[in-house]
Structure 1
Amino acid sequence: MSNATQRIQDAKNTLGSDLVILGHHYQHDSVIQHCDLTGDSLELARNVAGLSSRYIVFCGVIFMGESAALLVDKNQQVFMPDLDASCIMSDMAPDPVVYNVLEQLKKSGKKVVPLTYVNSSAAVKAVVGAEDGASCTSANAGTMLQWCLDRGDSVLFLPDKNLALNTADVLGIPDAERRVIDITRGGRNIDPNVALGAKLLIWPGCCAIHSIRMKVSHIEQARAAHPDCTIIVHPECSPEVVQAADVSGSTSKIIKYCEEAPAGATIYIGTEINLVERLMKRFAGEKTIIPLQRSACKNMAKNTEDKLAFLLEDLVQAHRSGTPPKAEPVTVDDETAANARLCLERMLEACS
């Protein structure tokens, strides 16, 4: 047992029910082993709303910590091992630009309902919530896109272009009714008339882990090496990769797919490497799990076992002394929180 592991276990024993640790599937095993709850964005959001612990430690990236902070009550605090664990995709949709785009689109006279992937800041969720919009995860994108389509003339889907395109394929939205929008000049360069002929307006963001690193050539190589294999990829991959694969789905769907595959199956997985390696270990000797391409998220990796140990020791000191922790909690100002919470709650209600 490492020194950090022992320190974390000691802290958990001291804090007891006052502490709960959440971890996203993309965290390293050294962190996941200490998490009380693990899951994808939707699973963790659902769980946060029902927690009663005083301290909630979220091992993920900052938009996840913010979402948790929106869903807890005033007597609870959310902490992260590293507050600098950002998200490149989220950063591609700054809230002032989202606001400007929506203001321009209003000039079309059409009702454009915004739908933001949870991979977005609380400030963006607030802009979306104020415009009668909602959030979605990769697990419920189809449900939430239809929810938005039922409430307006068109939908602005942000920030992930690939998830938007792949979800549109699932719902059968024709190519002629889709437009990737222009967000240059801070969103002021967009032509409002783009909303007149399109049911789906798409933000041009992406996830480097899936969009850039997973390629059709990797699928071709996998099939050449193992003709009987099946390939499952995350829907943040390009439409070309998704179409070339056998299945696409959220991290939870990927896990379930591996669980339900027959013994002896060979499965290539196109997603973040920590989850793939965890599945490789879990099914070793029963099924063959192979990464389509090794692709690691540097921001997820910022949460380490050592940082978790230091954070928990700080919480123990605060617990014993009755003073505030030295660590900075994840907070969202009241004005932003009100509308951002609406954005999340609409999703949770629609997908309950």
Structure 2
Amino acid sequence: MQNTQERITAARERLGSRLTILAHHYQHDDVVRHADYLGDSLELSRKIDGLDSEFIVFCGVFFMAESAATLARPGQKIYIPDIEASCVMSEMAPAPLVETVYNRLTESGRKLIPLAYVNTSAAVKAVCGKNGGTVCTSANAPKMLKWALSQGDGVLFLPDKQLAQNTSNTLGIPEEKRHILDIRKNGQQIDLDAAAQADVVIWPGQCVIHSRFTTNAIKAVRKSMPQAKVIVHPECPPEVVELADDAGSTSKIIDFVEAAAEGDTIVIGTETNLVGRLANQYAGKKTILPLATSLCSNMGKITEDKLLCLLESIEQTEDVTVSDSIRKPAQDALERMLAASA
């Protein structure tokens, strides 16, 4: 009797070139080993246009599959092994509230450019697209914030307040030119005067995975392993990023580890699946350790068994779709990012 891995291999052989599997770096190794392409959000978004496959399976969380569906060409179908694999940060910025808040902030006539982190729904990306805005990833956030600032007289950065603050620090935008919104009571508690004075108006969301990393954890590393290098993801709190040796996207973290000298110890503040994969890859050459254990339960909803179930029934499975009213403006927002970060 075939095991799960063998059955997936058989399903892939049956589907042949009709199938492409994409996986995010935060996926478990059991899923990653079946991927045609492994990458971060930006890398995987760039892959969509060049794929000829009819079936594109996205092993990640739902907003990533939505982005792929937004960019897919006619005839291509996007699937995700578990549609319940959501993103807590994404859910902190529901599209109706984003639109309400944006309208309040611009009712005076201000040209505020909305810039959505890719960790948002297609509906939020559509709000950005139809208002001259765009999208960013952790890899290109400084470039896209700079672009957005050049397009108007301010930027609404959503939903991650940590990435917004860290990116503003990278660009040298002073703290007095930033304002974190109070979006309670359907946006009625917004301080419009404070927002009007800010170049970067910030939505108050955050990643629960990266918010777990603390300055105390870095201080403990400095004390116990003074020669170790610490790199963290820019979704971490600004004080954590400031104390680390470097910060960057998953791709930058991978490059940082690769560039480190043999014998180095690197402590990483990001999702644990990636840290473990790097530790195994460089075992015996470099010591790779997690700053703290922090697993994304939603990424973990994508399993090898669920991938198998999807592949064996893909012709009868409903694909991820985006309505026409959302697709076009969301596509505009995504394509502005891809063009600016080419």
What TM-score do the two structures reach when normalised by structure 1? Answer: 0.96
Say which of 323, 329, 349 aligns to 2:339. 349
Which residue of structure 2 aligns with residue 329 of structure 1? 319
Question: Do residues 281 (structure 1) and 272 (structure 2) align?
Answer: no
Which residue of structure 2 aligns with residue 241 of structure 1? 240
1:312 is aligned with what amino acid? L
1: CA distance between counterparts of 2:232 and 2:248? 6
2: CA distance between counterparts of 1:97 and 1:150? 25
Which residue of structure 1 aligns with residue 224 of structure 2? 225
1: CA distance between counterparts of 2:246 and 2:62? 29
Shift, 1:17, TM fit: 0.5
Shift, 1:67, TM fit: 0.2
Of 292-301 and 108-117, deviating more is 108-117
* 1:1-352 equivalence runs, <5 A: 3-211=3-211, 213-315=212-314, 318=315, 325=316, 327-352=317-342
1: CA distance between counterparts of 2:235 and 2:271? 11
2:45 is aligned with what amino acid? A
Per-residue Cα deviation, 1:82-130 (whole angstroms, up to 9, x for no partner): 0000000000000011000110011233210000000000000001111
Q: SS in structure 1 opposite 2:330? A: helix
Shift, 1:191, TM fit: 3.5
Kept after mapping to 2: 8 A contact 1:108/1:193: no
Q: SS in structure 2 opposite 1:208? A: coil
1: CA distance between counterparts of 2:106 and 2:193? 10
Per-residue Cα deviation, 1:184-219 (whole angstroms, up to 9, x for no partner): 1122332433332110100000001001x1011110
1:236 is aligned with what amino acid? E
Kept after mapping to 1: 8 A contact 2:181/2:195: no
2: CA distance between counterparts of 1:239 and 1:156? 19
What TM-score do the two structures reach when normalised by structure 2? Answer: 0.98
Q: SS in structure 1 opposite 2:313? A: helix
Which residue of structure 2 aligns with residue 322 of structure 1? none
1: CA distance between counterparts of 2:187 and 2:194? 13
Kept after mapping to 2: 8 A contact 1:273/1:291: yes
1: CA distance between counterparts of 2:177 and 2:10? 57
Which residue of structure 2 aligns with residue 321 of structure 1? none
- Sequence identity, in percent? 55
2:305 is aligned with what amino acid? D
2: CA distance between counterparts of 1:278 and 1:8? 21
Name segments (4+ residues, structure 1) moved above 6 Å. none
Tell me: CA distance 1:150–1:277, structure 2 relative to 1, closer, same or farther (3 Å).
same
2: CA distance between counterparts of 1:20 and 1:171? 37
Kept after mapping to 2: 8 A contact 1:235/1:249: yes
2: CA distance between counterparts of 1:328 and 1:180? 39
Q: SS in structure 2 opposite 1:187? A: coil
2: CA distance between counterparts of 1:148 and 1:4? 46
Listed as ranges, the gaps of 5+ residues in structure 2 are none
2: CA distance between counterparts of 1:22 and 1:31? 10
Per-residue Cα deviation, 1:262-318 (whole angstroms, up to 9, x for no partner): 000000000000000000000000000000000000000000000000100002xx3
Tell me: CA distance 1:256–1:2, structure 2 relative to 1, closer, same or farther (3 Å).
farther
Kept after mapping to 2: 8 A contact 1:154/1:198: yes
1: CA distance between counterparts of 2:233 and 2:195? 29
Kept after mapping to 2: 8 A contact 1:8/1:309: yes
2:325 is aligned with what amino acid? E
1: CA distance between counterparts of 2:194 and 2:155? 12
Listed as ranges, the gaps of 5+ residues in structure 1 are 319-324
Shift, 1:44, TM fit: 0.2
1: CA distance between counterparts of 2:133 and 2:293? 35
1:152 is aligned with what amino acid? G
Shift, 1:74, TM fit: 1.6
Per-residue Cα deviation, 1:309-342 (whole angstroms, up to 9, x for no partner): 0100002xx3xxxxxx2x2211100010010001
Q: SS in structure 2 opposite 1:78? A: strand
1: CA distance between counterparts of 2:233 and 2:91? 20
1: CA distance between counterparts of 2:169 and 2:191? 25
Shift, 1:2, TM fit: 7.2
